[in-house]
Amino acid sequence: MRRALVIALCTAAVAAAACERSDRPAQDDRAELGSAHGDPVPDTARANPDSAVIAANARLEPGALGSVAAAPVDLWKGPGDQPFEVTVRTGDPASNTSRRFGTIARRTSLRERAADLGQYPCTSCHLGRRMVLADDRVADAHQNITVSHPVQTGGACSTCHSPDNVELLALKSGEQATLDHTYRLCAQCHFSQAESWAAGAHGKRLDGWQGRRVVMGCADCHDPHKPALEPRIPFRAPQIERTRGRGR
């Protein structure tokens, strides 16, 4: 059994090296950490962890770990040019809330989208550039939105929202993006954050560390009109003293 696995991994290693990783420099020192202390790491993994891991990851079907509703990310690639996905706005209709976050069952202080959906779909008031709303009610609309961002543009709606169809985002290139793909809009200014986001160093990842990668979109955590997180009282402090050092 074990020998068969080793042979399979060897084959995968050769194939992987031949087709895509031939230009890769030697494995860095950190990879050695795993093989310390005589742990039973397979010989192939010791010799070339890259290929063994790639082979292991390739066996995982997307979505094997959970049920996060997600869409492929446009234009951006993750590390190693792997495609990844972003959570989508349309949630489980049965759950009666705007979305479910996969396997996350506990309160995680994610922004509640239901309030936003009270004014959704936009076509109930906006029809193209025309307003389908009594004049005296126009002033009441969007009272819940305090625009503090982007300050540079004076907070004009049309900086980000397409005037022809407010359910779409207007990009500088003249293209339009859906509300699920807010990162395309945000990345126009916040390109370093977008790079980190695509690589997994910014933004919350869902599902798992292996196989399918799902990341939350910008507007899942940040209110686009007021992006900083709200301060709040933290969860309770530890009661047990540290065994060393001063303080606790």
Partner 1 sequence: MSADEKPAAASDASVFQKRVDRRKALGILLGGVTAGAGVASACSPLSAMPDEEKEAKLLAWREYIKGNYRTMTEEERAETIARLERLAKVKQGTDITIQSTGAQPGVVFGYAFNISKCQGFRNCIEACINENNLDRKAATQYIRIFEMEDGVIDLDHADATFEHEVPAEGHFYLGTQCFQCADPPCVKVCPVGATWQEPDGITVVDYDWCIGCRYCMAACPYWARRFNWSEPVVPREEVNTNQHYLGNRARKAGVVEKCHFCIHRTRKGQLPACAEACPTGARVFGNLLDPNSEIRWVLANKRVFRLKEDLKTEPRFWYFTD
Residues 171-230 that bind partner 1 (CB under 8 A): 192-193, 196, 199-211, 213, 216, 221, 229
- Calculate the alpha carbon distances from 225 to 13, 134, 144, 174 in Å: 49, 25, 10, 21
**CA-to-CA distance for 175 and 159, rounded, in angstroms?**
13
Number of residues this chain uses to bind partner 1 (CB under 8 A)? 73
Beta bridge partners of 206: 214
Q: Is 34 a binder of partner 1 (CB under 8 A)?
A: yes
Q: Which of 65, 86, 169, 187 binds partner 1 (CB under 8 A)?
A: 65
Q: Which of 4, 18, 33, 139 binds partner 1 (CB under 8 A)?
A: 33
**CA-to-CA distance for 224 and 74, rounded, in angstroms?**
19
Q: Is 72 a binder of partner 1 (CB under 8 A)?
A: no
Give the nearer residue to partner 1 in terms of CB position, either 54 or 166: 54
Shortest reach from residue 117's CB to partner 1, in Å = 20
Q: What angle do CA 106, 107, 109 make, to 5 degrees?
A: 145
Q: Which of 15, 58, 64, 189 binds partner 1 (CB under 8 A)?
A: 64
Q: Which of 67, 75, 79, 144 binds partner 1 (CB under 8 A)?
A: 79
Q: Is 108 a binder of partner 1 (CB under 8 A)?
A: yes
